[in-house]
């Protein structure tokens, strides 16, 4: 089974980079982003080795803010960051097919 843990990486005003795992007592800091990523990776691995039954208690959501006279804030899933990977053509084929995804049905 694969488990995903969100990691937050922030650059401080002093230039230091800190990283933490929300919901777990796992923190790391370094001079550069690359070093912070390496440090949080090692720290998380060590923590999970010492606490194998740990499960993430946090859920990641993204705030999408629309531009305009009145800014609207929508809370969306992480998929919004990655995109859905659906083209207009695939979406149209799915609608014509009557189901999500897949190939169009063969007609006789």
- Domain definitions of the chain by residue range: 8-50, 62-97
E strands, 22-100, in order: 26-30, 62-66, 72-76
pTM over 0.75: no
**Which phi and psi (to 5°) does residue 14 adopt?**
-80, -10
Q: How do residues 18-38 score in pLDDT, each as one tens digit?
A: 999 998 999 999 999 999 999
Q: How do residues 62-89 score in pLDDT, each as one tens digit?
A: 888 887 777 788 888 776 666 656 667 7
Helix (H, G, I), strand (E, B) or coil at 48: helix
42, 47, 45, 46: which is closest to 30 by C-alpha? 42
């Amino acid at each position: 089974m694969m488990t995903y843990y969100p990691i937050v990486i922030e650059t401080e005003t002093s230039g230091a980079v800190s990283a933490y795992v929300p919901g777990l007592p796992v923190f790391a800091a370094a001079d550069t982003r690359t070093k912070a990523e390496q440090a949080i990776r090692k720290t998380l691995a060590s923590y999970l080795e010492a606490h194998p039954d740990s499960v993430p208690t946090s859920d990641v959501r993204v705030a999408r803010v629309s531009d305009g006279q009145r800014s609207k804030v929508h809370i969306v899933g992480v998929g919004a960051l990655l995109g859905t990977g659906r083209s207009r053509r695939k979406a149209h084929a799915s609608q014509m097919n009557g189901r999500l995804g897949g190939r169009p049905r063969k007609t006789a």
